[in-house]
Amino acid sequence: MADMFSILVAGAEAPADPTALGLEPYQWVSISMAVLIALFIWKKVPQLITGGLDNKIAAIKQQLDEAKELRAEAEKLRDEYAAKIAGAEKDAEAMMEGAQREADAILEKAEADSKAMVERRKKMAEDKIAAAERDAVDEVRQSAAVAAAAASRKLIAERHDAEADRKLADEVIGSI
């Protein structure tokens, strides 16, 4: 390196770079680059790259559109279910109120039915007691009649004779 410097300073020329077919190295690099670019253009590499990027962009746009649609559907479903939940809560509240009214009505009816049943049973018991009293009175009367008839027979048998029978027969005939 010191030799090169001393040659340049002294005014001598530096050795020349090798050349091929009379072209300098930078020219070979330029030609290679031009051939490479021409080959890429001929094989449509930029179009493939832009096409791939365009396809990727289109796929991403499609996914974004689908995501927007899914989000809109999800929001719609959320709103729908929120409305359904609110409706279900109102329905449940209405059912509870209806059930309470029905329970109150059933309770009132049961109380009325139980009072009516108590009254019916009380009346039935009173009727049975009255029937038993009538039966007892009838039985006592019958027993009294049987006892009176037996006593009358006994008294008649003891006190009545043929003369008394004639007198009784005459009275009966006379009253006719």
DSSP one-letter string for 73-97: HHHHHHHHHHHHHHHHHHHHHHHHH
Token code pair at residue 118: 């108590």
Residue 7 neighbours by CB distance under 10 Å: 13
CA distance linking residue 120 with residue 115, whole number of Å: 9
What pLDDT score does 45 carry? 79
Domain boundaries, the chain: 44-175
* H-helix segments, 11-44: 25-42
- Cβ contacts of 24 within 8 Å, gap of 6 or more: 17
What pLDDT score does 69 carry? 95
What pLDDT score does 174 carry? 86
Q: What is the pLDDT along the chain (176 residues), one digit of tens a residue?
A: 445 555 555 555 655 666 778 888 888 899 999 999 888 888 887 788 888 899 999 999 999 999 999 999 999 999 999 999 999 999 999 999 999 999 999 999 999 999 999 999 999 989 999 888 888 888 888 888 888 888 887 877 777 677 777 777 788 888 87
Amino acid at 60: I
DSSP run (H or E) holding 56: helix 45-159
CA distance linking residue 169 with residue 163, whole number of Å: 10
Q: What is the pLDDT of residues 142-160, one digit of tens each?
A: 888 888 888 887 877 777 6
Amino acid at 18: P
Distance of CA 85 to the CA centre of its chain: 10
What pLDDT score does 51 carry? 85
Which residues on neighbouring strands pair with residue 20, listed in sequence order?
23
CA dihedral 144, 147, 148, 149 (to 10 degrees): 120
What pLDDT score does 3 carry? 52
